[in-house]
Amino acid sequence: MDAPTRSSVFQDFLQPGQSFVVTDTETTGTRPNLDRIMEIGAVRTGSDAPCAVFSELINPGVAIPSRITRITGITTGQLHDKPSSGDVLPRYMEFLGDGLLTAHNLAFDRNFLSAELIRCGLEPLQGQGLCTLRLARRLLPGLRSKSLGSLATFFRMESSGRHRAQRDAEITTAILERLLQIAIDEHGIGDLDELVALQSRTYASVRPLSAHVERIRRETLPDLPDEPGVYRMKDGRGKVLYIGKARSLSSRVRSYFNAVEAHPARIRKLIAAVRRVDWDVLPTELDALIVESRCIKQEDPPYNRAQTRWTQRPWLRIHPDEPFSRVTAQVLVRCDGARYFGPLKSRKQAASLLEIIERVFRVRNCSAKDLEAGRRCLRGDMGRCLMPCEQPDAEDYSVEVSRVEAFLKGDVEDVVAQLEADMARAVAALDFETAARIRDWLHMIDSLLAGGGAVAAPMEGVDRAAWLAGPDDAHATAALVRHGLLVWTARLPLPVGAGNLEHIHARWEEVMEYPVPTAHPTAREEADARRVLESWMYAHRAHVLVVDRRPGEGSASWAQRLMDRIMSEG
């Protein structure tokens, strides 16, 4: 392995002549007086010299136990022709020199090294050392495990190759760098003596809690309800720093102020700036998701990364009152009497769907001017258009448009069959580029159906009821979609009983009176709420029950069908 590069943190912290010698040993057991060292690995890093690496296998003079081989991969045969500790340890001591012996669980490695030195007739190790395990216990007390692997995971380091001495020494060096940065930034450690002393200080003296964290724990956390909602973290001037949603406000907000030092650096920085936490209790987690998304976009908190922008997603548009309707894609949804299907993920996805429609269905894509002028196009010559420019049969064309709408709503069987046949013909003709494009279309159709049950759902949508209750939930979330818009949510107690049915029936009687919108939901907030609703239903698809209202069906029958589904499916 190549020697690790020298860190600027070490360079800036250490004085000339000072260095860390991070060491790891692999041993035949855990008892220094009986077991032996079979491998030593060390990394030296200092302020005025490049990093250096020491790595040696040692013949311990005894067989390697099978349990040690399982951990390290080192076998007795691999060590048969290796030098003895009497040959290796003097070279290691020369490598250590006047550097500071550093290890993760220093006592273990130091005791083994001293025992081997005594067997070789040399003096045991003297002087101070630095233990990264002890440092981690004081700098990261909220982290449940301070093992080398757990620290590597916490700091998001690559930890492959563990349980070999040199690799463990390299990982320990990287962890030491992170711990040193925390000690400098958060505790004002300025030199090597202070760092060594830090590992022996009491926990309370290392990290007394900030006054504002103590105050929030004392005054705010006890008042947080065990209810869904949205919370806002604010600084001392009332500026919103972060907005989040929670299924349980109490559990979620408490998690920020417990074991603060175990959080990632960005969260620790947020907690250091927070002076107040406000919250709004909402009926369900679904409501919290929608309100959170809207508030993040409106208030733009600096610590929120996701959902910070209104997303203008494309729609497919079909205008039934136009002569011989076209299918087009556009971002803005207007109150123009047209039917809109979507929203789609991207303009690329919209373009792909238009290609599929123009390949499979015989609808025009020419401009109104060309249609009026009666100009025949290439699609007509290819048989891919009913050619209303020359044969204006409105009834046949209307049937074709209805087929397009059925495809967008999820009736894809005929379309998939034709695309699969086209792909097979393209492969036979060695037109692999066309075959690959059709293959991607088929994958896209499958993913769209899996996500929402339709290729592109009509904006006005169906009247739909959803019921979500996980296996361990004490409450269920009921939601009602009317004309494609989320109009009602409720948090209802479990188990299911007659009260649930009466409550839902009464509410649905009210919302069934909602008129069909005279205009499509053009507001960004409404479009965003629909996006959140679809994401919520997909994320909980394993536990959510959805029942669409049949044409002409009353709310009582609709509610009863949902209850029957709930009772039958548990």
Report the 3 state secondary structure along 151-212. HHHHCCCCCCCCCCHHHHHHHHHHHHHHHHHHHHHHHCCCCHHHHHHHCCCCHHHHCCCCHH
Q: Which of 186, 189, 156 is nearest to 272 (CA)?
A: 186
Annotated catalytic residues are 163
For 292-311, b where at least 16 C-beta lie within 10 A, e where not — what string?
bbbbbbeeebebbeebeeee
Taking a C-beta distance cutoff of 8 angstroms, is the pair 388, 397 a contact? yes
- ∠426-427-430 over CA atoms, to 5°? 90
Question: CA-CA distance, 402 to 395, in Å (whole number)?
Answer: 11
Residues 6+ apart with CB under 8 A from 202: none
Where in the chain is CATH 3.30.420.10?
8-204
Where in the chain is CATH 3.40.1440.10?
211-299
The fold of 8-204 is: Nucleotidyltransferase; domain 5 (3.30.420)
Question: CA-CA distance, 140 to 153, in Å (whole number)?
Answer: 14
Q: How many CA atoms lie within 13 A of 226 on its CB side?
A: 2
Q: How many CA atoms lie within 13 A of 534 on its CB side?
A: 23
**Model pLDDT, residue 162:** 86
**What are the residues facing 57 on neighbouring strands?**
39
Q: Which CATH number fits domain 211-299: 3.40.1440.10, 3.20.20.60, 3.40.367.20, 3.30.540.10?
A: 3.40.1440.10
Sheet holding 475-482, edge to edge: 485-493, 475-482, 464-468, 544-548
3-state secondary structure at position 222: helix
**Model pLDDT, residue 74:** 94
Please give the DSSP secondary-structure letter assigned to residue 223.
Answer: G
Helix ranges restricted to H, 344-412: 347-360, 368-373, 378-381, 394-409
What crossing angle do the helices spanning 285-299 and 524-539 adopt, rounded to 10°? 140
Residue reference for tokens 């919370």: 231
3-state secondary structure at position 80: coil
**Model pLDDT, residue 518:** 47
Label residue 192 exposed, middle or buried (CB < 10 Å: 0-12, 13-18, 19+).
middle
Give backbone dihedrals phi and psi of 26, rounded to 5 degrees, phi first: -110, 135
3-state secondary structure at position 317: strand
Question: CA-CA distance, 432 to 530, in Å (whole number)?
Answer: 39
Taking a C-beta distance cutoff of 8 angstroms, is the pair 516, 483 a contact? yes
Please give the DSSP secondary-structure letter assigned to residue 387.
Answer: -
pTM given for the model = 0.59
Provide the residue-wise pLDDT of the chain in tens; the chain has 570 residues: 455 665 678 888 999 889 999 999 999 999 999 999 999 999 999 877 778 999 999 999 999 999 999 999 999 999 999 999 999 999 999 999 999 999 999 999 999 999 999 999 999 998 889 999 999 998 888 788 899 999 999 888 888 888 899 999 999 999 999 999 888 877 878 889 999 999 988 766 666 667 788 889 889 999 999 999 999 999 988 999 999 999 899 999 998 988 777 778 788 889 888 999 999 999 888 899 989 988 998 888 999 888 777 667 788 888 766 777 788 888 766 666 677 887 788 889 999 998 888 888 888 777 666 666 666 676 765 666 766 676 767 677 788 888 888 888 888 898 899 999 999 999 999 999 999 999 999 999 988 888 667 888 777 666 777 888 777 777 888 888 877 677 778 887 777 665 666 666 677 666 666 555 544 444 567 767 777 877 787 777 778 888 877 777 777 777 778 778 877 775
Residues 6+ apart with CB under 8 A from 475: 469, 491, 492, 493, 494
Give backbone dihedrals phi and psi of 84, rounded to 5 degrees, phi first: -85, 170
Stretch (H or E) spanning 116: helix 106-119
